[in-house]
Amino acid sequence: MTTISHKRRNKGRGLRTVLIVILCLVFAAIIVVWRGPLTGLFWLGFGPVLSGVQTFTNQGELERLRAELAATQALVADRNFFVQENEALKTRLGRLPEGTSTTLATVLLRPPATPYDTLVLDVGLSEGVAAGDLVFAAGSVVVGRVTEVYRSTSRATLFSAPGQSHETVLVTEAASVPLVVEGQGGGSFVGRLPQGIVVSAGDSVVFPDLMPVFVARVSATETAPGESFQTVYMQLPVNPFWLQYVEVRKPSSL
């Protein structure tokens, strides 16, 4: 029987420990010295794989977000349409003075489908509409008059139609000034005032004999050198190209 002494056994263990320590030091030295090249080698081999996984994940997430955004936009658009329609109808019927007779009308045709700032409405003789009735938008904004009436439809001419001339009052911060305005088409007007009258963009133009009611808003002014008058440009406060509903009212009810 062969017997290994305790000294040889301990010596063998010590040698293995020294070798392990040396190997650890060598491995650590390799990592420290070759860390950059090894890292580059790692990313060279596995970078495309990791990049592909990340790109696939990002694209999947992006597509999911796009789908959710599209669905949300559709819901918002649907909600806004019904909210605007509901508010428009309530506004048009709720802002009228008590006792005022009004007929709510849908705009069938508007510029540029109709010429010379005219509207075709879905109300006519059957609804009691008559030539000369006033056409309102947004409650207190008068935009024109009914000029032709048929059995179930009518045609309204906007005050801004070319060739139209109206006596109005320009309301500024300092005073109220009489102003004759002429229609220029496209919902616009023009008028002339002495230079000494201060006019600012946003000033209101009203018909004094109709409650009064709002008809236009100053958009700009222009003064030519040597002229004693200034040119005032005005615009309907509503866009005639976007009108969907209007109210038709008898002038005697105002």
Q: Is the pLDDT of residue 10 over 80?
A: no
Question: What's the pTM?
Answer: 0.59
Instruction: Give the tokens for residue 154.
Output: 């009518």
| Average pLDDT, rounded, for the chain | 75
pLDDT in tens, 46-63: 555 555 555 556 666 766
Average pLDDT value for residue range 168-181: 89
pLDDT in tens, 80-139: 444 444 545 545 554 444 555 788 999 999 888 888 889 999 999 999 999 999 998 866
Q: Is the pLDDT of residue 187 over 50?
A: yes
Full DSSP string of the chain: -----HHHHHHHHHHHHHHHHHHHHHHHHHHHHSHHHHHHHHHHHHHHHHHHHHHHHHHHHHHHHHHHHHHHHHHHHHHHHHHHHHHHHHHHHHSSPTT--EEEEEEEE-TTSSSSSEEEES--GGGT--TT-EEEETTTEEEEEEEEE-SS-EEEEETTSTT-EEEEEEE-SS-EEEEEEEEEETTEEEEEEETTS---TT-EEEETTSSSEEEEEEEEEE--TT-SEEEEEEE-SS-TTS--EEEEE-GGG-
Within 13 Å, how many C-alpha atoms sit on residue 177's CB side?
21
CATH topology of domain 99-254: Thrombin, subunit H (2.40.10)
Average pLDDT value for residue range 18-38: 60
How confident is the model at residue 13, as a pLDDT? Answer: 59
Residue with tokens 């808003």: 217
